[in-house]
Structure 1
Amino acid sequence: MSTADKWLTVIALVSVPTVMFGGYALMRLTGAGKLNAYQLSLFKAGHAHAGVLLVLTLTSLGIAARAGLSDPYTWVVGALLAAGTISQSGGFFLHAAIGRPGKWSVGNTLTVLGAAELTVALLALAYGVATS
């Protein structure tokens, strides 16, 4: 396992408890009636995307390690995966905070940016694996 594979995996694994805490926070906020139905749906979406995308990141890093990709290449892919995960899930939370139903907000834009970052990361990983 290269240095990039190791440290990016550590960062992703350490991030998992933050998603777990988000589940706890969701239960507390729901029980306290602090979120309306619209905010609750976006909070759930952001939380679910964060968890799933962390699993995708860990899987992708394992693929990069098995393919023997160079450290710089793995750092780029890992950075794009991290940025995409934060942007995509964070956009839901931001839209819940400032957005309105049926209206575009910067949260929506952030979510779309995250999808683009994840797409570039996965295509770069696929290219790296195919050419290794």
Structure 2
Amino acid sequence: MSKWFSPTESNKAYFVGKHLKKISTHLQNIQPPTSIERLPRDLEKIYKNLKATELQAWLLFYAVPCLVGILPEVYLAHFSCLSEAVYILLGDHIMPSSLQRAERLLDQFYSSFSKLYGEGCCGLNVHNTCVN
């Protein structure tokens, strides 16, 4: 999120901070699944201070629909790999085929990260997504 919203990234293709109000409006118009207890808050005001449950909901349910048409497609597709893989891995009963899909998605996410966001941008959390 810091890459997408931070003013220091404003000259990058993935920067969507200038659309934060629009993204926040999309977010607040989403009807969350009943499993999500905390309703979406104004992202424009609190994106730097989201609670863990809000970050999880953003990753799993909100980010992709909120960023369609705003974040360039290549970055949205890349992020979707992470989102889907984490969704699969958080499941209660994971079939071997689903586990293999999650592995492929995480592999794709990891291998594309530095190409999209630049060399040296892969922090520990990104490296931890690497399956190999």
Q: TM-score range by the shorter chain?
A: 0.3 to 0.5
**Normalising by the residue count of structure 2, what TM-score does the alignment of the two structures yield?**
0.36
**Normalising by the residue count of structure 1, what TM-score does the alignment of the two structures yield?**
0.36
Q: Which has more helix, going by share of residues?
A: 1
Structure with higher Rg: it is 1
